[in-house]
Amino acid sequence: MVVLITGANGQLGQSLQFIASNYPELHFVFCASADLDITNLENCQTVFSKINPNYCINAAAYTAVDKAENDPEKARLINVVGAKNLAEICKKHSTILMHISTDFVFDGSLSPRVQSRGYTEVDLPNPTGIYGHTKLDGEKAIQATFDNYYIIRTSWVYSQFGNNFMKTMLRIASERDSISVVNDQIGTPTNAVDLAEVLIKIICHPESSRGTTSNFGIYNFSNEGQCSWYDFARKIFEINNITINLQAIPTSSFPTPAKRPKYSVLDKTKIKNIFGITIKNWEESLKPYIFRL
């Protein structure tokens, strides 16, 4: 089973590399943007013709949420055109596409119905910023191209690789005595290795490994539980035995170019039921990362 991974130098790409040796039955091919430019259809065709993958995990994305507001063309090129190119090439080569999307496809409106269970895969997306819009349009481009896809929506991804909230908090704590973090945006941190493990579990699922499945579609995955960014920061400092003056502030006190969802907890019932996946609580999953760092 050949599994091609785009965006090999990103958080998810490096997390997949971190666990790849645990799955000797799979042959992984990791491609950074220099190896595979998803915005170039001809380049995609050349790479796929050489590798002929059974699966393609698209971990390549434009994820600079605030920068996207001033650079919508680049965000759209990677998140929409790139997704469409991969879908077309996957269709041509009979490759199953696993595409990573985001909780930012939702606006975070705090309806009691959504708060009681989190967003499901059938809730109506309504992104508020360029990043969310391009990720949703990328989903639609895949769906309009072919049927053999898994779209995995996730949230608040962190790892020991690349740039992310956890590493930013630890860096700031080494430079300052105090920090303010918003406490009115609610979501769920996602351990990137947990996400990588789930993708491989889907690939290795008995129905998936037979090459035909009725389980294609959109799925949610994050760790379990929910918290604010303030709660996330507090737990990072607590686990790492860091003493710092941590202040909770409202979003209005920390304006950003892109509007964030106020509430973006994802319901994982579908992925748990169909693939028999057990998901760790976000606090439990955070500890191994702190110790690695």
Residue 202 tokens read as 């889907």
- SS3 of 59-83: the string is CCCCCCCCHHHCCHHHHHHHHHHHH
Q: Where is 185: in which H helix or E strand?
A: none
Cβ–Cβ < 8 Å for 13, 5: yes
Whether the Cβ atoms of residue 36 and residue 47 lie closer than 8 Å to each other: yes
Q: Which residues are catalytic?
A: 131
For residue 50, what are the contacts with CB-CB under 8 A and spacing of at least 6? none
Alpha carbon of residue 229 to chain centroid: 17
Instruction: Say if CB 99 and CB 7 are below 8 A apart.
Output: no
**87 to 1, 171, 276: CA distances (angstroms):** 19, 38, 27
Sequence-separated (6 or more) residues with CB below 8 Å from residue 261: 103, 104, 106, 107, 108, 128, 185, 187
Closest CA to 141 of 186, 181, 90: 90
Contacts of 221 (CB under 8 A, 6+ apart): 152, 153, 154, 190, 195, 198, 266, 268, 271, 279
- Look up residue 201 and give its amino acid: K
